[in-house]
Structure 1
Amino acid sequence: MAAALVDEEINNDDFYALLNVRREATQDELKAAYRRLCMLYHPDKHRDPDLKQQAETLFNLVHQAYEVLSDPQSRAIYDIYGKKGLDMEGWELVERKKAAVEIREEFERLQREREERRLQQRTNPKLEFGAGDIQGPLFGLKIFRNLTSQSFITTHCGLQFSSRGIRPGLTTVLARNLDKNTMGYLQWRWGSQSAMNTSLVRDTKTSHLTIAMQLGIPHSFVLMSYQYKFQDDDQTRIKGTIKTGFFGTLVEYGAERKISRHSILGATVSIGVPQGVSLKIKLNRASQTYFFPIHLTDQLLPSAIFYATVGPLVVYFAMHQLIIKPYLQLQKEKELEKQRENSSSAVAVKKQEAEAAVRLMQESVRRIIEIEESKLGFYDPCVGEEKSLKVIYLFRGVLHQVMTADNESLRIPKQSHRVDTDG
């Protein structure tokens, strides 16, 4: 193990290396390795203050590694995601599962929840800007209740402010899981605009479909919306919507794409009667939404539709090449430089720990040899290795020789031990 520590250095995140066992080690092998290292690193076995402190550090690391690997649930999480998976909050509330697929699903869910909480803490409250109108809750109260394992109901009451003043509102939503990817909703809204809305939402890995119908004052409509999700790093999505009601008919199409770690840029073209043609630019930054509507014309002109469609694409590709791409490259270089600095300091710490482990081993071996040498008779020159006993003896003037294992009984003389000296 000393040679392994010198060659590979201690990795605090590799619990198998800390215990010096293979990744397929059984519980008995883990327990044996843990006990052996506890005897080696126990602080009470070292009198030198420096060695005692180093032994205490290594003893705690070994104890942490054994606690994780001796628990089947923690070991399964560690084998898939490493130490970062164990640091994720919320595992204590999750049903103990052993299947790798289920563990991955739970990890991704907990990771999404943690990211949402972190962004909410950074950017609350959520505001929407558009057309000289600012909307956001001044006060809100939300009540959530599970009716069954497949359905729940929520009630939200609050106050909103806008250019038209402060308005109270109450919204109640009844939802039910129809299958793994499909939800049904029934919503009632009371306030300045009262309405009842029923919708069917199907969300999969590659698509999102919404079918809705609303009866209300002053707006009643039927809506169908479809969104396709590309499986790329930029989370590109294209969508189309058709909506018809008492106000007329509206067709919308557009796309959105991730432009940075926490920013998503989207554009939507709206074509309707009697609304005309308009372009809507939306920027999501963390949990904030910036909305910029641009009304082009009140009539359905082909030129307006063309410019509304092609213009944003040309502007986006120009911005991507001249601004977004250089900015992301600069951010990536900064992150790599920061990782190099962190890695260099971490390697220095691990090197010190490896050297400390070697010194502790040398001290333990020296102490064992001193104890054995102080005794009468045999002593163990190779601690921890398998031994054999070689006996050479004379019987009736004839040379005999035998090799036997350390834990086997020895019976002499025997004819089979006789050495043929004639040859």
Structure 2
Amino acid sequence: MDSYEQNRSPTPPIDMLSEEFSEETQDSLNPPVIDLYGVLNVSKEATEEQIKEAYKRLCRTFHPDKHVDPENKRAAETKFQVIQRAYEVLTDPTKRTIYDMFGEEGLNTSWEVGTRLKTPQELREEFEKQAKLKKEHEMENLVKSKGDFQLSIDATQLFDPYDSVSSRRKNISSPSSIFENIEVTQLFLKHSFETQLKPQAQAFIVGQTIIRNGVGGGNIVGSIRHTFSPHFWAEVGSSVVQPRITTAKANYSFGSDGFFTVSAQSQTISSPPILSFTAGRRLGENTSGYLSYKTGAWALGPWGQNDSYSRRERSSAAIGINSSMEKSGYGLEIQTGLANSYISANYNRKLFDIYQIRAVTTLSTSSGLTAILLGERKVAENTKLAIAIELGIPGGITFRCRLSRLGQRITIPIHVSSEYNFKIALWGTLLPVITIVAVEQTILRPRRKKKAAEKLAILRERHAEFISTRKREAEEAIRLLQPSVERKVEAEMTKDNGLIILEAWYGNFAHIKEASTENQYGDVFDVKIPIQALVFESQLIIPGGYSKVNFLYVR
């Protein structure tokens, strides 16, 4: 396992008040799509009878025939069209299933789902299948490729503590002399892409090359994977040139609670393949554990006894545990083997929703003690930058920079010291942190706030007409509700436990308690009449799925 790879935890939703102005934030400021369940004031689990009853209640208030005044009649016609649309969709099982899964966009799409006599579950399966095929067709137009470029640099001569100060100054007296003191020790290139052969078959091609100290080699590996069922898939592959390596792998998952994987690798027919077994299981809501075993080289009677090359592969066994939560995660792995035994622990955490830090510590019989501290930040929509420092005893100190974008990754490890040096480790950790914080606070953060304010102003200006229209429609709806609400209040007053809304405000929570009918803040609105209209049988009914916390104040 690459110690620099991070456990991916679910990204939390972006706060509307955050200084980060992402596409999600911009979309949330766009005109909202009408919620058909909200129109009828029913939950998404409402039965057909509940939907019909809600429709009848709204008809008593918003049906155009209930109004004589021309202005009220016109406003009622507009509202009733939306109510009628919601009723027609939600009482039709096919349309309701499409709306639940794909929203309004799905209702405007032509679906070929066969006979209309299918059950809702069968319809859902058909829609999911067609949506998957549609998505796969769209993805065929994209290049499914991944690239990895790694350039290893040895810069230990620049930081050699045994060099005299005068000699060191002489060596770096000019910019050109700096490059004379560094050396490229390794160049690694890897590129892969995949293609869909059939709905259940995929092909993978991986090409890689490595050059180390002037000597290098490379190979191309191709493999085909077939998915037999949602729980089982298998693949086979082989390299194209020498050394010829053949691989096979199969995976079976036990639902979402466990899996079992077996793989085989063979470089020659003169010995049995090297086998690996891994089994994992969910231990808790966010925790899983696994066991793995690798046979190494082995013999079956005379088969494999004389294969000296393969016998360099040694057996090992490992046990591990991983936990992934919303903003943090950890892992622990212990391996024991004939060639190498180690214990490794890692911890990662998301800070301020934009930074990801990761710490890894490994104690190994082959490489000693190693500690890694990595920080990663999203610098653009599809680009991430990571910086890490690796401290090893006796491995020395290595800095790593990694840039990732759309499946392409560039990594530059810089080996600055062949042994542990406290000063280099201290300044190598503090300087990047100080630099990042300084740039973040003085340049990036003010720039993001300025861009966010500019985009907000543009969006508000762009949607000014829409907001004005929605405000007028809300005022018309309140005017239509006024007579029925007055009758409802009179009926509630005659009851022993009647419910009458004295005050109801919607908007910025900080201003709600200071709000007045003049709406001096511009972001707080009196919603007493609409809330009272939701009272039935002395109960206020607001279906789930709608935000009522920090934005709605009722008493």
Question: Kindly tell me: are residues 325 and 272 of structure 1, through their superposed partners in 2, closer, same or farther at Cα, counting changes over 3 Å?
Answer: same
Aligned to 2:251: 145
Aligned to 2:370: 251
The residue identity in structure 1 corresponding to 2:280 is R
Q: Does 1:134 align with 2:159?
A: no
What stretches of structure 2 of length at least 5 have no aligned partner? 1-30, 65-75, 108-119, 125-137, 152-186, 193-205, 207-221, 226-233, 235-249, 266-272, 298-309, 489-555
Q: Does 1:298 align with 2:418?
A: yes
The residue identity in structure 1 corresponding to 2:389 is V
Which residue of 446, 452, 458 corresponds with 1:332? 452
Q: Does 1:34 align with 2:58?
A: no
Q: Does 1:64 align with 2:64?
A: no
Alpha carbons 1:58, 1:357 under 8 Å: kept = no
Alpha carbons 2:397, 2:417 under 8 Å: kept = yes
**Mean Cα displacement is larger for which, 288-297 or 22-31?**
22-31
SS at match of 2:146: coil
Structure 1 residue 24 displacement after superposition: 11
Question: Kindly tell me: are residues 340 and 286 of structure 1, through their superposed partners in 2, closer, same or farther at Cα, counting changes over 3 Å?
Answer: farther
Q: Does 1:182 align with 2:288?
A: yes
Which residue of 281, 292, 311 corresponds with 2:401? 281
In 2, the alpha carbon distance for the partners of 1:202 and 1:346 equals: 49
Structure 1 residue 211 displacement after superposition: 1.2
The residue identity in structure 2 corresponding to 1:133 is F
Structure 1 residue 52 displacement after superposition: 11
In 1, the alpha carbon distance for the partners of 2:276 and 2:140 equals: 23
Which residue of 212, 217, 223 corresponds with 2:334? 212
Question: Kindly tell me: are residues 23 and 60 of structure 1, through their superposed partners in 2, closer, same or farther at Cα, counting changes over 3 Å?
Answer: closer
Alpha carbons 1:152, 1:175 under 8 Å: kept = yes
Structure 1 residue 249 displacement after superposition: 1.0
Alpha carbons 1:18, 1:62 under 8 Å: kept = no
Structure 1 residue 124 displacement after superposition: 4.0
What stretches of structure 1 of length at least 5 have no aligned partner? 1-9, 42-50, 87-91, 97-117, 159-168, 362-381, 387-423
Structure 1 residue 15 displacement after superposition: 3.4
Aligned to 1:412: none
Alpha carbons 1:123, 1:287 under 8 Å: kept = no
Alpha carbons 2:63, 2:77 under 8 Å: kept = no
Question: Kindly tell me: are residues 277 and 12 of structure 1, through their superposed partners in 2, closer, same or farther at Cα, counting changes over 3 Å?
Answer: closer
Deviations, residues 167-187 of structure 1 (Å, cap 9, x unaligned): xx9995523215120221426
Structure 1 residue 299 displacement after superposition: 2.4
Alpha carbons 1:253, 1:269 under 8 Å: kept = yes
In 2, the alpha carbon distance for the partners of 1:306 and 1:26 equals: 62
Question: Kindly tell me: are residues 194 and 275 of structure 1, through their superposed partners in 2, closer, same or farther at Cα, counting changes over 3 Å?
Answer: same
Structure 1 residue 331 displacement after superposition: 4.9
In 2, the alpha carbon distance for the partners of 1:189 and 1:335 equals: 59
Which residue of 211, 231, 242 corresponds with 2:362? 242
Q: CA RMSD in A?
A: 5.5
SS at match of 1:31: helix
Alpha carbons 1:240, 1:253 under 8 Å: kept = yes
Question: Kindly tell me: are residues 290 and 239 of structure 1, through their superposed partners in 2, closer, same or farther at Cα, counting changes over 3 Å?
Answer: same
Question: Kindly tell me: are residues 301 and 29 of structure 1, through their superposed partners in 2, closer, same or farther at Cα, counting changes over 3 Å?
Answer: closer
Which residue of 180, 201, 221 corresponds with 2:321? 201
Structure 1 residue 344 displacement after superposition: 3.7
SS at match of 2:145: coil
The residue identity in structure 2 corresponding to 1:15 is L
In 2, the alpha carbon distance for the partners of 1:170 and 1:323 equals: 54
The residue identity in structure 2 corresponding to 1:253 is I
Structure 1 residue 125 displacement after superposition: 2.1
Question: Kindly tell me: are residues 52 and 286 of structure 1, through their superposed partners in 2, closer, same or farther at Cα, counting changes over 3 Å?
Answer: same
Q: Does 1:13 align with 2:34?
A: yes
Question: Kindly tell me: are residues 25 and 302 of structure 1, through their superposed partners in 2, closer, same or farther at Cα, counting changes over 3 Å?
Answer: closer
**What is the identity percentage for the equivalent residue pairs of Structure 1 and Structure 2?**
14
Aligned to 1:224: 344
SS at match of 1:126: strand
Within a 5 Å distance, the mapping from 1:21-420 to structure 2 comes to 21=41, 28-34=49-55, 37=59, 59-64=84-89, 124-131=144-151, 132-137=187-192, 138=206, 139-142=222-225, 143=234, 145-146=251-252, 148-149=254-255, 150-154=257-261, 174-177=278-281, 179-180=283-284, 181-186=287-292, 188=294, 196=316, 198-205=318-325, 206-213=328-335, 215=337, 220-230=340-350, 232-246=352-366, 248-260=367-379, 262-285=382-405, 287-333=407-453, 335-337=455-457, 339-340=459-460, 343-344=463-464, 346-347=466-467
Structure 1 residue 239 displacement after superposition: 0.9
Alpha carbons 1:141, 1:157 under 8 Å: kept = no
In 2, the alpha carbon distance for the partners of 1:289 and 1:119 equals: 21
Aligned to 1:405: none
In 2, the alpha carbon distance for the partners of 1:284 and 1:125 equals: 13
Structure 1 residue 294 displacement after superposition: 1.2
In 2, the alpha carbon distance for the partners of 1:346 and 1:190 equals: 68
Aligned to 1:110: none
SS at match of 1:210: strand
- Radius of gyration: which is bigger? 1
Question: Kindly tell me: are residues 24 and 234 of structure 1, through their superposed partners in 2, closer, same or farther at Cα, counting changes over 3 Å?
Answer: closer
Work out the number of aligned pairs and report it. Answer: 295
In 2, the alpha carbon distance for the partners of 1:197 and 1:209 equals: 17
In 2, the alpha carbon distance for the partners of 1:336 and 1:120 equals: 36
Deviations, residues 106-143 of structure 1 (Å, cap 9, x unaligned): xxxxxxxxxxxx99997842322221322233244443
In 2, the alpha carbon distance for the partners of 1:11 and 1:299 equals: 60
In 1, the alpha carbon distance for the partners of 2:335 and 2:397 equals: 24
